[in-house]
Structure 1
């Protein structure tokens, strides 16, 4: 079986899932984590064109360009 999760509530949450379903969830979160880290690195490196560039908020009014 699986090791006891660090957070007690997770045992209850995963009790409704089969081993195969937990494997699929684990695989999905692993893949998404890799994809998001890659995207974040690309954004931080300036290699991504942002469709919605950051804009000034109402809190920035009067602070110059």
Structure 2
């Protein structure tokens, strides 16, 4: 489930600020929402964007790629 933080919060040892979005298991997300720390983000696609900026190890990066 995707949530947006309404307040600063430490998640997995990393400090997050209001406005940050996190993808969490439903139970964790619901807990943060119930505490008033986060809200659910509606209409977020679960699809991951393509990462063309990552090269295969050992492959040189070229301009325009």
TM over 0.5: no
The structure with more strand, counted as a fraction of residues: 2
The structure with more helix, counted as a fraction of residues: 1
The structure that has the greater radius of gyration is: 1
- Structure of greater relative contact order (alpha carbons < 8 Å, 6+ residues apart): 2
TM-score range, shorter chain: under 0.3
- After TM superposition, the score normalised by the length of structure 2 is 0.27
- After TM superposition, the score normalised by the length of structure 1 is 0.27
